[in-house]
Amino acid sequence: MPYSTNEVRALLAKKAKYELGFFPTPLHRLDRLSEEFHVDLYMKRDDFSGRNLFGGNKIRKLEYLMGEAVKSDAEYVFTYGATESNHAMQTVTACRRAGLKPIIYLTAVVPVDEQDIRSNLLLDQIMGAEIHIVRLRPGETEDDGDARGEALAAARSKELEEQGHRCYNIPMGGANALGSLGFVEGYVEMTEQLAAIGREADYIFHATGTAGTMAGLDAGRKLLGAGTQVISVNVSPKDDTYRVRAAALANNALDELGVTDVRLDPETDTWQEKNFYLPGYEKPSPESTKAIRYLSEQEGIFVDPVYSGKAFAALLSWLRTGKIPAGSTVVFWHTGGATALFAEQEIVGDFYQKLIYED
Ligand SMILES: *Cc1c(COP(=O)(O)O)cnc(C)c1O
């Protein structure tokens, strides 16, 4: 038997939570694109999650993670990401709100230019986080760099604990069962908003990186017994084991809620779109560059080159090729990240257009 939105909310209410964002985030129709593609296209605005202009999808996860951190009397919070990590920046924001001290380990996928610090790394600095940059050594891959950062953090955390300071560790992307609860809640929130206008989603499109968001949405969908397909668009190379991991994470999130009678099967309960991440993580693609420009020209809304632009490119492709039938109700989940438009040129991509000089 599926659960009702109220029943899921009651289960979520038993978990420790620290209020960080402004919810519900808006859900609104994209009129021009809906007309063009003969569908009802809505956008779920988690870019407006708060606490400032630079929100995003990590805020939902952090409400549950910080709930636990505060409950455990932590003084320091550790987390990880790439140099321009949205997750790390939002974690720093959350720490400042909760009065905890943020320590972040950032793998320098794109090298830091000390003379021209930008975007999220600039915001991390403004908020006074303790920032460790893990520069890749010759022959080291990004994964090696991440692993080295985590080992260094473990040593630093041990040292602090020995001095009597309690530390709380948040994994990269906030991608664990507790964090995913934020997107179980997000799924319920969206369902309530659509129900209020007499609709249910046929498709949801969103960008996926660490699978935390995907797991939460998939778990929420399964709990409510919705017939929706949640299309998770990869932003980095992933094989089919990604769906297995996402389903396992979703099931762990259900365990957190004490739900035992609903289980996800990766074959039938997860969907993965792998064809839009190239040329790689934090590297703009011609399709995402076009999608960013198209959405901004059609609707005045910005998506970003690393995540939401690639997911939006996937959605446009599905719409243009008729993979989404006319008359469908479609939700694009805007996960935030537009600060990347103010990052290094190699992240932003090429939006050059000839300026008209009036000398
Ligand atoms: C982190 C992030 C995602 C991916 O979310 P995961 O839960 O890590 O899969 C998508 N969009 C943006 C803007 C992000 O920062």
What's the pLDDT score for residue 248? 98
Residue 130 confidence (pLDDT) above 90: yes
Give the pLDDT mean for 324-329.
Answer: 98
Q: Taking the complete model, does pTM exceed 0.85, yes or no?
A: yes
- pLDDT tier at 110, thresholds 50, 70, 90: confident
3-class SS of residue 323? coil
Q: Whose C-alpha lies nearest to ligand 1, atom 10?
A: 207
Which residue out of 57, 238, 339 has the highest number of ligand 1 atoms within 8 Å of its CB and is therefore the one to mutate? 57
Which residue out of 62, 210, 292, 312 has the highest number of ligand 1 atoms within 8 Å of its CB and is therefore the one to mutate? 210
Element (H, E) at 81: strand 76-82
| CA distances in angstroms from 163 to 118, 169, 285, listed in the order given | 34, 17, 47
Which residue has 């009702």 as its token pair?
Answer: 4
The model's pLDDT over 239-296, given as tens digits with 9 standing for 90+, comes to: 989 999 999 999 999 999 999 999 999 999 999 999 999 999 999 999 999 999 999 9
The model's pLDDT over 139-164, given as tens digits with 9 standing for 90+, comes to: 999 999 999 999 999 999 999 999 99
The model's pLDDT over 156-189, given as tens digits with 9 standing for 90+, comes to: 999 999 999 999 999 999 999 999 999 999 999 9
The model's pLDDT over 175-231, given as tens digits with 9 standing for 90+, comes to: 999 999 999 999 999 999 999 999 999 999 999 999 999 999 999 999 999 999 999
The model's pLDDT over 70-101, given as tens digits with 9 standing for 90+, comes to: 999 999 999 999 999 999 999 999 999 999 99
What's the pLDDT score for residue 109? 86
What's the pLDDT score for residue 261? 97
What's the pLDDT score for residue 145? 97
What's the pLDDT score for residue 310? 98
Atom of ligand 1 nearest to the CA of 86: 15
3-class SS of residue 342? helix
Ligand 1 and 335: CB distance under 6 A = yes
Order across the sheet with 203-208: list the strands. Answer: 27-29, 40-45, 329-334, 203-208, 229-234, 271-273
Output the CA 213–ligand 1 centroid distance in Å. Answer: 7
The model's pLDDT over 297-314, given as tens digits with 9 standing for 90+, comes to: 999 999 999 999 999 999
Output the CA 103–ligand 1 centroid distance in Å. Answer: 20
Atom of ligand 1 nearest to the CA of 213: 7
Which one-letter amino acid corresponds to residue 195?
A: A
Which residue out of 64, 91, 180, 307 has the highest number of ligand 1 atoms within 8 Å of its CB and is therefore the one to mutate? 307
Cα(62)–Cα(312) distance, integer angstroms: 24
Output the CA 56–ligand 1 centroid distance in Å. Answer: 8
Atom of ligand 1 nearest to the CA of 183: 7
Which residue has 């989603």 as its token pair?
Answer: 201
Give the pLDDT mean for 17-27.
Answer: 98
Cα(270)–Cα(229) distance, integer angstroms: 8
What's the pLDDT score for residue 317? 98
Atom of ligand 1 nearest to the CA of 207: 10
For the chain, what's the residue count?
A: 359
| CA distances in angstroms from 302 to 45, 291, 296, listed in the order given | 11, 10, 6
Give the pLDDT mean for 339-355.
Answer: 94
Ligand 1 and 213: CB distance under 6 A = yes
Which residue out of 45, 184, 208 has the highest number of ligand 1 atoms within 8 Å of its CB and is therefore the one to mutate? 208
Output the CA 174–ligand 1 centroid distance in Å. Answer: 10
| CA distances in angstroms from 123 to 88, 91, 170, listed in the order given | 10, 11, 19
Residue 330 confidence (pLDDT) above 90: yes
| CA distances in angstroms from 283 to 29, 127, 158, 235, listed in the order given | 29, 27, 35, 9
Give the pLDDT mean for 11-40.
Answer: 98
DSSP secondary structure letters along 187-256: HHHHHHHHHHTT---SEEEEEESSSHHHHHHHHHHHHHT---EEEEEESS---THHHHHHHHHHHHHHHH
Ligand 1 and 242: CB distance under 6 A = no
3-class SS of residue 13? coil
What's the pLDDT score for residue 170? 98
Ligand 1 and 88: CB distance under 6 A = no
Which residue out of 84, 204, 213 has the highest number of ligand 1 atoms within 8 Å of its CB and is therefore the one to mutate? 213
What's the pLDDT score for residue 1? 80
User: How would you label 252-271 residue by residue, b for 16+ Cβ within 10 Å and e otherwise?
Assistant: ebbebbebeebebebeebbb
Output the CA 202–ligand 1 centroid distance in Å. Answer: 22
The model's pLDDT over 27-86, given as tens digits with 9 standing for 90+, comes to: 999 999 999 999 999 999 999 999 999 999 999 999 999 999 999 999 999 999 999 999
